[in-house]
Structure 1
Amino acid sequence: MTQPYPLKFQPDFQERVWGGRALERFGLDLPDGVIGEGWMIADHPNGVSTVVNGELAGLGLDAVREKLGREWFGSKGYKEDARFPLLVKLLDCNDDLSVQVHPTDDYEGLPQGELGKTEMWYVLDAKPGAKIIYGLKEGVDREQLREALESGNVMDTLQEVPVSAGDTFYIPAGTVHALCAGVLVAEIQQNSDTTYRIYDYNRPGLDGKPRELHIEHSLNVTAYEGAGATSMKTDGAKPGEWLRLAHSPYFIVEKGMVSEKWELSAAPDSFTILVICEGSGHLTWEGGSQPYAAGECYLIPASLSSYAIEGQSTLLRAYLP
């Protein structure tokens, strides 16, 4: 019987026209090219992360799900014939991402087998003057958005928000948004790869051709009255306490700071995900220890009744509501 322990993964890296090489700062061995996304904990047809530590080393998260999912993911995290419910990424935005919007689970136009996409961002780093696009300006409706797209004035309908390290943004499905150049972000989201592009700055993709836009889908799924997006500064986080950043139907995300040994326990009905934002130390549990460092992500099994975090670090904790 495999004893539960924190799983560390080899990410699946994704090249993007807006990517760069900034993820190398975390000691990640990037493939050639402009790498925009590290899929750190992933169980999706477009990318699967692979365990690199312990007894399960070499198995993809999909294989872990098939072998141990009912026990390790908890009653909330495991469903027969369903993939792992969340997708955890690190994003290097060396250039602006497309202006985009994601659908809800019940959108009729979803690709076969896909979910909607509600997500949240935690800003790991931001260059001076960095910003994001975060929602429509007040009063913009479907026809105004369509007219702006047709006239080439879509940027006039969008809200721009300055960002700095430690900012967090909750982005429910239906929220028009875009990360912009100069930010490094941890993203926790539904396990979906469905994005509808509204506008892409008339630039070529990696193949030299314009990337596809999805105007009608975008107009259909946009929440013109707002979808409940919220943002906050996280300077108030205190050592040994969890600061709630996002609470959605799909995930709860909290920020914690470690300054001494912090004893914790896994929820019996849900796995826990840890994203190390800054610092280093050790994860310890009965019979084992694992060094951790910034940029790493861990899956704590629901069946691991207790564990501890030691060192000096800032981290995110995500689990199912």
Structure 2
Amino acid sequence: MKPYPLLFQPEMKERVWGGRALEQFGLELPDGPIGEGWMIGDHPNGTTKVANGEWAGLGLDQIREQYGREIFGSKGFSEKNGRFPLLIKLLDCQDDLSVQVHPNDHYERLPEGELGKTEMWYVLDAKPGAKIIYGLNEGVTREQLAEAIAQNRVLDCLREISVEPGDSFYIPAGTVHALGAGILVAEIQQNSDSTYRLYDYNRMGLDGKPRELHIEDSLNVIAYEGSGATYMKTDLAAANQWLALAESPFFITEKGQVDRPWKLHTNGDSFVIHIICDGTGELSWADGTIAVKRGECYLIPANLGQYTLSGSMTVLRSYLP
């Protein structure tokens, strides 16, 4: 079967901090506060199914099993568990998220087959005054943080940053972080659902019970000497050029503005993921053309070869290093 750009039916996740903002992308949401749309996923906690073309109805796990090497590329598998290596999400934060940290691949208390979690955020929208927590204040040690937790003053140890649409944050494993209320983000991450909560504002979960904290694991995996986290404004100097947002051992993510036909290509090493951040346009390849719009996330097969983006839109491009 000839390869083509794959669009998936998202897996929606109810979260105590979520809302209904993902409806603005034309997505169908179940009832309740929806915090996460898993747009491209191959994980035991959520596997997306193809929504377009001849492979419609196949899960990403089935694509992996039947056509993985051709579609994902020679680098396109996790060395640890053999799965698709990335998880692509849209997050709607109507309330503050828990203060959390993620382990790396080598943490000995990870569940069998689970990966660590290095990720990045691209801010699609943010209400005036919206903020995130992004790392510890300078000089905070494990002992000082543990004492602050015991005394219920952990927020005194955390760095807070105001955010605007277009901001980009790279969040390596070991970075303490939390999205704040009023923020909509695209998230590119390792294919992992490993999160350790450090603090959750004494909040009740969807079941009416206090949400679980993971203090010991959090203290174990935090990078107290710095994780390599970076953030940036992403104003583009010109159209049809890529601006590097994140370069990690697990993914590279770039931003570009399409305003005229832009010829691109894949090779056999890696798939490419495009997230349409705003605007509309078309994605064309040798065998077809599809209309694309804001909020859609496409998996471009490693063996597709040449393709073209056209129209007027801002896109993210992610691939494996």
Q: Structure 1 length as normaliser, TM-score?
A: 0.98
How big is the shift at 1:79? 5.9
Matched residue of 2:74: which SS?
helix
Match of 1:97 in 2: 97
- Which residue identity does 2:141 align to in structure 1? D
**Is there any run of 5+ residues in structure 1 with no aligned partner, and where?**
none
Contact 1:124 1:186 in 2 (8 A): yes
Match of 2:2 in 1: 3
Contact 2:70 2:268 in 1 (8 A): no
Q: How does 1:108-123 map to 2 (within 5 A)?
A: 108-123=108-123
Match of 1:268 in 2: 268
Contact 1:237 1:255 in 2 (8 A): no
The answer on 1:233 being equivalent to 2:233 is yes
Distance (whole Å) between structure 1 residues aligned to residue 203 and residue 218 of structure 2: 19
Match of 2:11 in 1: 12
Moved more, 198-207 or 266-275: 266-275
Distance (whole Å) between structure 1 residues aligned to residue 103 and residue 77 of structure 2: 23
Distance (whole Å) between structure 1 residues aligned to residue 252 and residue 303 of structure 2: 19
- Which residue identity does 2:253 align to in structure 1? V
**Is there any run of 5+ residues in structure 2 with no aligned partner, and where?**
none
How big is the shift at 1:112? 1.5
Match of 2:243 in 1: 243
Distance (whole Å) between structure 2 residues aligned to residue 131 and residue 173 of structure 1: 20
How big is the shift at 1:256? 0.6
- Which residue identity does 1:17 align to in structure 2? V
Q: How many matched pairs?
A: 320
Match of 1:49 in 2: 48
Distance (whole Å) between structure 2 residues aligned to residue 303 and residue 144 of structure 1: 51
Contact 1:237 1:257 in 2 (8 A): no
Q: Mark the CA change 1:279 to 1:180 in structure 2 (over 3 Å): closer, same or farther.
A: same
Distance (whole Å) between structure 2 residues aligned to residue 153 and residue 52 of structure 1: 47
Distance (whole Å) between structure 1 residues aligned to residue 121 and residue 235 of structure 2: 16
Contact 1:21 1:92 in 2 (8 A): yes
Distance (whole Å) between structure 2 residues aligned to residue 111 and residue 199 of structure 1: 22
Distance (whole Å) between structure 2 residues aligned to residue 79 and residue 114 of structure 1: 10
Moved more, 230-239 or 173-182: 230-239
Match of 1:283 in 2: 283
Distance (whole Å) between structure 2 residues aligned to residue 26 and residue 109 of structure 1: 38
Contact 1:283 1:309 in 2 (8 A): yes
Q: Mark the CA change 1:165 to 1:237 in structure 2 (over 3 Å): closer, same or farther.
A: farther
Distance (whole Å) between structure 1 residues aligned to residue 280 and residue 186 of structure 2: 17
Match of 2:215 in 1: 215
How big is the shift at 1:146? 0.4
- Which residue identity does 1:32 align to in structure 2? D
Distance (whole Å) between structure 2 residues aligned to residue 127 and residue 209 of structure 1: 29
Contact 1:284 1:309 in 2 (8 A): yes
Contact 1:36 1:92 in 2 (8 A): yes
Matched residue of 2:65: which SS?
helix
How big is the shift at 1:290? 1.0
Matched residue of 2:75: which SS?
helix
How big is the shift at 1:267? 2.8
Distance (whole Å) between structure 1 residues aligned to residue 286 and residue 70 of structure 2: 18
How big is the shift at 1:237? 4.7
Can you list the C-alpha shifts for 1:27-72, whole angstroms capped at 9, x where unaligned?
0011111000000000000001110111100111111111110111
Contact 2:78 2:85 in 1 (8 A): no
- Structure 1 segments of 4+ aligned residues over 4 angstroms from their partners: none
Distance (whole Å) between structure 2 residues aligned to residue 237 and residue 103 of structure 1: 36
Q: Mark the CA change 1:236 to 1:111 in structure 2 (over 3 Å): closer, same or farther.
A: same
- Which residue identity does 2:51 align to in structure 1? V
Match of 2:57 in 1: 58
Can you list the C-alpha shifts for 1:147-203, whole angstroms capped at 9, x where unaligned?
110001000000000000000000000000000000000000000000000000001
- Which residue identity does 1:50 align to in structure 2? K
Distance (whole Å) between structure 1 residues aligned to residue 98 and residue 78 of structure 2: 33
Matched residue of 2:66: which SS?
helix
